[in-house]
Amino acid sequence: MSMAAEPVDVLVAEATAGSQEAWNAIVDRYAALVWSVCLRFRLSEADTSDVVQTVWLRTVERLSSLREPAALPGWLATTTRRECLKVLGSRQSWPLGELAATLPADEDTTAPDAELLAAERRAMVREAFAQLPEHCQRLLALLVSGDQPSYVEIGARLEMPVGSIGPTRSRCLDKLRACPAVARWLTSERAEQRGDRRNV
């Protein structure tokens, strides 16, 4: 688990230098991103597994030439999407209409779309979460867990006074937002909201 909190550029550098452990940490971090993009295309299980395998193999061969490791999540999302489209394209004995109906609405295969961006954003949130101190991780994980425990239950489980849960929650979320990847993203979001794309 020691590598789970490392920034992506460190992982990429280590994996390029031969560390299987660093590579595994990259896989652990981004598997959900690759998977969630695949899900949108409703491919068969066999096709999905082909796509996933191809994406990882391409990533391995790409590793040393990645100029901007921070761009890895975006690259993974677009590559996964392209491989999914390729699999759909190779099923081209279908009538064109049927093929078109299966594809996501936007036809420009190079432009990022809202779902792709949301998938990248969730990957970013997981990365930021992994960098939080342990007490923050435990509290936030409980707060968002399926059984929605009350503050009293959370206080009992984490052995913390109920009155400090609210403030701790705020501090932990502040830390999440201050994580470099999230901070960068927030800056570009704000710029976009103002209609100012110069800083994006």
Partner 1 sequence: MSEPWADEDRWLAELREALQEARQVPKAVLEAGYSAYAWRTIDAELAELTYDSITEDPALAGARSQQAPLRALTFATGSVTLELQIEPTLLLGQVVPPQPGELLVSLRDGTSRTVPVDDLGCFTVDPIPAVPFRLRLAGEPPVATGWITL
For partner 1, the binding residues (CB under 8 A) are 15, 20, 23-24, 26-28, 31-32, 34-36, 49-50, 52-54, 56-61, 63-65, 82-83, 85-86, 89-90, 92-96, 99, 109, 121-123, 125-126, 129, 140-141, 143-144, 169-170, 173, 176-177, 186, 189-190, 193-194
Q: How far is the CB of 68 from partner 1 (least distance, A)?
A: 17
Q: How far is the CB of 77 from partner 1 (least distance, A)?
A: 13
Distances (CA, A) of 150 to 104, 135, 136, 143, 166: 40, 17, 17, 9, 12
Burial (Cβ within 10 Å: 0-12, 13-18, ≥19) of residue 200: exposed
Nearer to partner 1, 156 or 170 (CB): 170
Cα–Cα–Cα angle for 197, 198, 199, rounded to 5 degrees: 95
The amino acid that residue 149 corresponds to is P
Residue 133 CB contacts under 8 Å (≥ 6 apart), including other chains: 175
Nearer to partner 1, 18 or 161 (CB): 18
Cα–Cα–Cα angle for 43, 39, 118, rounded to 5 degrees: 145
Q: How far is the CB of 199 from partner 1 (least distance, A)?
A: 16
Nearer to partner 1, 156 or 186 (CB): 186
